[in-house]
Structure 1
Amino acid sequence: MALSRKPPARLRNNNATIATADISVPGSLIPFLAGMDVVIHAASYVGSEPRLAQEINEAGTDHVVEQCRQAGVARLIYVSTCSVYGRGPHRGILESEADYHPASVASASRAVAEQLILGYGGEVVRPNLVFGAGDRWFVPGLLKLMKVAGGWPGDGSALLSLIGVEALGGLLSGLALAPGQPGHAFHAAYPEPVRVSFLLQSVARASGVEYPKFLGDDERAGSALRAAGFSGHQIDLVTKDHWYSSEGLWRVSGREPETFNSVLGEFSSAYHALRESTR
């Protein structure tokens, strides 16, 4: 069963049952939790409004935990973010090696949510950058960044952890079906990081835009990006190394590790609509 505040008009999996619920409303999940073995909590607010971050990520997660406790749900898995670590560079760190240093309202509230989940004995999954169907932030954000800056800030050498939404779903389902790992956190990413220059080449090809020129440390680009509303943290996320050891989740989930190169067709298909809209 899948619970959603706004159920999709079309189901991608005809075997799924979609029901309406809102984690910000106390008690709204209870009717659906009876007999559930595992709950995957993937509802998060990723904007910059403090009230909404507190209401959804903190209070909402507290509601999820309490209702799972009341219903006797044995396992609770939370989809968080590597952004709880804050500004990089991060290079191959293990889940046990990094502390919380969130640099945004959303990340700070999701760090609080993680503590609630781990306190319940749940498990946390931290993707870094997610691409694929339904993406309204990552690749669209890269395209906007290039347009505003008139190129790409930096030299394109940064290494990033990526994961496709299909692979992320597979890792989550694999984890849910595996024996529980109480109190554990996992990174969700392809084991091999992706160089930004190659990522941008893939974005340009999939979206039908020109490959950007690299601007280095051109302060004019930085000023233009800040004026357009990009924070220093957002710029750092895609111009400095942010990659994380992820072998643990692939192993526990029982899935064969993939690479970004192996899903380039999936990547291109996901952004076909962007290609049409940028012509």
Structure 2
Amino acid sequence: MRILVTGGTGFLGSHAIAELSARGHDVVSLSRSGIARPPATADGGSVEHLQADLAGELPVARMGADVYLLCAAYVGPDARTAEAVNTGGAERLVRAAQTHGAPVVSLSTLSVYGSGPHRGQAEGALEPHPESVASRTRVAAEEIVLASGGAVLRTALTTGAGDRWVIPTLTRVASRLGAPDELRAVRSSVIAAPALARAAAGAAIRLAEDPDGAFRARTLHLAHPEPVNLVGLCERLTGIAVPRVSSEAFAQGVEGLGLSPHQTRLLTEDHWYESSAIWEALGEDPGPAVDPSPDAVAWYRERLAER
């Protein structure tokens, strides 16, 4: 197939392109830079790079594909940019896809549910409760994709080579504050980047092959079925032991970090979701909850050493 991926030079997009190319598909990578990162593999399908911004005019004539995979998103606090990239970008991408008769699979986020605690809720059990402009505009983008007959995959915290936020940030916070015993009992949904790429690629291929099938106009949780403890996850991937502290000392430390209420709750309360449906629909084993590859471990240890 020929598959278009937005955000192809980013964390999720680059993993998706590597997976699709390894399966032998030809990929069109659309990104603001248009630069290959990581370089396209020599094996598998070809990778063509297009430079375009979802917030602006798209080169529709050059975007012919069998299916579109929307990986790009703006997650910052600027409302105007979030509207332009997330909501407007989804609308422009769906129009381009319809021009070529192609469906769209969009990567969204479990953060659209807002703060928990959430413990094992399946798709449809919770209404979105976005607590940021990024999440609010991504909910709007979801609605645009679903209305077109596309699929939405709400992704969990994602780990692996290329992650510059989840594990590096959590490790710096936990190493600075320490962790009380009760924090080590908190569970969260996560997904390893290679597993996310496998599921996203599989969903895109299935939707292209059968536009009226199991993935049409469907929202699915994209996470490993087994939740994990974030403190233990950080220790495993970085080799940095997080010291044990009292609950009182931890609470005092958190107050001085300037985290948002939502960020604090993500760290201190359960946020995990029933996530077996997508793997059942694909007929695949999700594999390990954490990317155990030497590349992932080396990535995190290099990033933390730099700081």
Which TM-score tier does this pair reach, normalised by the shorter chain? Answer: 0.7 to 0.9
- Give the structure 2 partner of residue 4 of structure 1: 31
How do 1:249-268 residues align onto structure 2 when only pairs under 5 Å count?
249-260=278-289, 263=292, 265=294, 267-268=296-297
Q: Distance in 2 between matches of 1:159 and 1:107?
A: 22
1:127 aligns with 2:155: yes
Q: How many residues were matched structurally?
A: 268
Structure 1 residue matching 2:185: 3-state secondary structure: coil
> What is the RMSD computed on CA atoms of the aligned residues?
2.1
Q: How high is the sequence identity, in percent, across the aligned residues?
A: 31
Higher deviation after alignment, 111-120 or 138-147: 138-147
Q: What TM-score, normalized by structure 2, do the two folds share?
A: 0.80
How do 1:184-203 residues align onto structure 2 when only pairs under 5 Å count?
184-203=218-237
Q: Distance in 2 between matches of 1:219 and 1:269?
A: 32
Q: Distance in 2 between matches of 1:155 and 1:264?
A: 26
- Render the CA deviation track for 1:63-83: whole Å, top value 9, x for unaligned: 11122222322x100000000
Measured after TM superposition, the shift of residue 185 of structure 1 is 0.8
- Render the CA deviation track for 1:230-256: whole Å, top value 9, x for unaligned: 211012112211111111111222322
Measured after TM superposition, the shift of residue 172 of structure 1 is 0.7
- Contact kept? 2:160, 2:192, Cα under 8 Å: yes
- Give the structure 1 partner of residue 98 of structure 2: 69
Distance 1:172 1:261, change over 3 A: closer
Structure 1 residue matching 2:241: 3-state secondary structure: coil
Q: Which amino acid aligns with 1:43?
A: A
Q: Which amino acid aligns with 2:216?
A: P
- Give the structure 2 partner of residue 18 of structure 1: 49
- Give the structure 2 partner of residue 211 of structure 1: 242
For residue 222 of structure 1, the aligned residue among 254, 263, 267 is 254
- Render the CA deviation track for 1:157-198: whole Å, top value 9, x for unaligned: 111111111111111111112244211011111111112342
- Contact kept? 1:131, 1:163, Cα under 8 Å: yes
- Give the structure 1 partner of residue 217 of structure 2: 183
Structure 1 residue matching 2:226: 3-state secondary structure: coil
Measured after TM superposition, the shift of residue 40 of structure 1 is 0.4
Higher deviation after alignment, 177-186 or 48-57: 177-186
Q: Distance in 2 between matches of 1:59 and 1:214?
A: 46
Q: Distance in 2 between matches of 1:172 and 1:161?
A: 17
Q: Distance in 2 between matches of 1:261 and 1:53?
A: 30
Q: What TM-score, normalized by structure 1, do the two folds share?
A: 0.88
How do 1:1-279 residues align onto structure 2 when only pairs under 5 Å count?
1-6=28-33, 7-14=35-42, 15-26=46-57, 28-34=58-64, 36-73=65-102, 75-147=103-175, 150-152=177-179, 155-178=183-206, 179-180=210-211, 181-205=215-239, 209-216=240-247, 218-226=250-258, 230-260=259-289, 263=292, 265=294, 267-278=296-307
Structure 1 residue matching 2:106: 3-state secondary structure: strand
Q: Distance in 2 between matches of 1:202 and 1:86?
A: 27
> Structure 1 unaligned runs (5+)?
none
- Contact kept? 1:192, 1:259, Cα under 8 Å: no
- Give the structure 1 partner of residue 20 of structure 2: none
- Contact kept? 1:22, 1:29, Cα under 8 Å: no
Q: Which amino acid aligns with 1:260?
A: A
Structure 1 residue matching 2:55: 3-state secondary structure: coil
Q: Which amino acid aligns with 2:233?
A: L
Measured after TM superposition, the shift of residue 267 of structure 1 is 3.9
- Render the CA deviation track for 1:121-176: whole Å, top value 9, x for unaligned: 1100011100112211101211232255x223762211111111111111111111
Q: Distance in 2 between matches of 1:105 and 1:130?
A: 20
Measured after TM superposition, the shift of residue 214 of structure 1 is 4.0
Structure 2 residue matching 1:186: 3-state secondary structure: strand
Q: Distance in 2 between matches of 1:139 and 1:19?
A: 30
Q: Which amino acid aligns with 1:25?
A: G
- Render the CA deviation track for 1:5-43: whole Å, top value 9, x for unaligned: 1223541433322221211113x1402332x21100111
Distance 1:172 1:257, change over 3 A: same
Measured after TM superposition, the shift of residue 223 of structure 1 is 1.5
- Contact kept? 2:159, 2:291, Cα under 8 Å: no
> Structure 2 unaligned runs (5+)?
1-27
Distance 1:31 1:108, change over 3 A: same
